[in-house]
Amino acid sequence: MYRKAPETPFTAKEYISAQNFAEHFSFARRLRVASGVAGAALALTSLGGYYGIDVASNRDREQSATITLDNRAEPSLLVPNPSAFTVYVDGYGSMNANLFADKLGPITSAITNGPYYSANFGDAPIDTSLLANEVLSTAQDTRYEFVSFNGFSAGGLLTIETAEKTIQNTNLRVDALFLTSSPSSVESLRPDRIEQLWWLNTAAKLPGAKYSSAMRWLISMASDVDQYNTGDPMDFFRVWGENSSEIQRRAEPGVAQLDDQALAIINADVPESLRTIGNLRGEKQMPVIVYLAAEDPSADTSVNTDKAADDTCSAAAEAGLTCLAYKVPNVVHSVYQLDATSYAAILEGAQEEIQAAIAEERTYYELLNPVNRPSLLSPLQ
């Protein structure tokens, strides 16, 4: 079922017409990116032996890293013995969803009636199979029967894929997928963000670059060019120092994780994932999709949320899934600047509608499965 909140109609705006990823770029822009990557390659080559040691160390760190789910909820504010929980997944450039969960978790917990967890990738690969396994493990350890997901930006695409694997391979029941300013595909990104992804994906193909601290620093400097292209030399040295400090503290994901996140956007196929889920109706509980878009389409400088919401809800409708779309005021594409008050106002008003949709899906599933109602849980295959 396809439902849009009647007070928040969407129109299709700023569609990017393209047949594939590369077609989004003019020759001049690709030449500029290629020149930058070539310069990075020369710089990395000049580092000699240190580069190889650094790459090997970072590769070993990734291979030994694991994904964890960190409970961010205040126990005293929760209902006793909750049977449901929500997993928060942040977007491009993040290592965990701590801040995202801290801001929106208390709001969505009133809808989902349970604690909220931050997906912490650390140095581990951004792998939705690994995340789905950790979600299942947490449910088994705590006896949760229901899970919801909330993904910000690219994290929304990761949550769709994680939910798909969870529904396919376990008896854990997925109540809802909250998609917060999430792209539906590369085409729903703003042109500058598409160029950034293309630059990263190209740079990551250099020998060893996916595990290079130096390449991670170069990517940070390229991403932050607006902060120091001011005519004041001191701004350049300030950004230089900030990025160097973050690399040393491992405060941001490495190139391998950034490339994983970029590929999650590039390779996303939301209609196919939702069709796979929808085909299991009756056998498994269906999730309710809740898309949270920007009230002012131009305010989100990374994602055209009008297009993304339309695309996502249209794909949900074709898959037979309920999709509720809401526009949120004061939205910009930044977890750091996320206005929790604006989201609270919208979600509090939508709470009854969302809970009713979830209850409808729970009831439908239980009517078709009255005897063998799953208790928990079969492992992922």
Q: What angle do CA 174, 175, 176 make, to 5 degrees?
A: 105
Q: Which amino acid is at 173?
A: R
Contact 54, 61 (CB under 8 A): no
Q: What angle do CA 114, 378, 157 make, to 5 degrees?
A: 60
Strand partners, 89: 151
Whether the upstream peptide bond of residue 377 has omega within 30° of 0, thus cis, is yes
**What is the rounded average pLDDT of the residues 86-90?**
97
Q: Sign (positive/negative) of CA torsion 315, 318, 324, 329?
A: positive
**What is the rounded average pLDDT of the residues 111-136?**
94
Three-state SS letters, the chain: CECCCCCCCCCCCCCCCCCCHHHHCCHHHHHHHHHHHHHHHHHHHHCCHHHHHHHHHHHHHHHHCCCEEEECCCHHHCCCCCCEEEEEECCCCCCCCHHHHHHHHHHHHHHHCCCEEEEECCCCCCCHHHHHHHHHHHHHHHCCCEEEEEEECHHHHHHHHHHHHHHHHCCCEEEEEEEECCCCCHHHECHHHHHHHHHHHHHCCCCCHHHCHHHHHHHHHHHCHHHHCCCCHHHHHHHHHHHHHHHHHCCCCCHHHHHHHHHHHHCCCHHHHHHHHHCCECCECCCEEEEEEECCHHHCCCECHHHHHHHHHHHHHHCCCCEEEEEECCCCCCCCCCCHHHHHHHHHHHHHHHHHHHHHHHHHHHHHCCCCCCCCCCCCC
pTM score above 0.85: no
In this prediction, residue 8 has a pLDDT band, given cuts at 50, 70 and 90, of very low
Q: Give CATH superfamily name and number for 68-187+270-368.
A: Alpha/Beta hydrolase fold, catalytic domain (3.40.50.1820)
Length of the chain, please?
381
In this prediction, residue 31 has a pLDDT band, given cuts at 50, 70 and 90, of very low
Contact 313, 325 (CB under 8 A): yes
Predicted confidence (pLDDT) per residue in 246-303, tens digit: 666 665 677 788 888 888 899 999 999 999 999 999 999 999 999 999 999 889 989 9
Query: Mean pLDDT over all residues of the chain?
Result: 82
Predicted confidence (pLDDT) per residue in 343-375, tens digit: 999 999 999 999 999 999 999 999 998 755 544
pLDDT at 61: 73
pLDDT at 243: 65
Tell me which of 52-61, 154-163, 292-301, 347-356 is least confident. Answer: 52-61
pLDDT at 93: 84
Domain layout of the chain by residue ranges: 22-58+206-264, 68-187+270-368
CA distances, 126 to each of 135, 244, 289 (Å): 14, 23, 22
Rounded CA-CA distance 258/95 in Å is 9
**What is the rounded average pLDDT of the residues 182-187?**
95
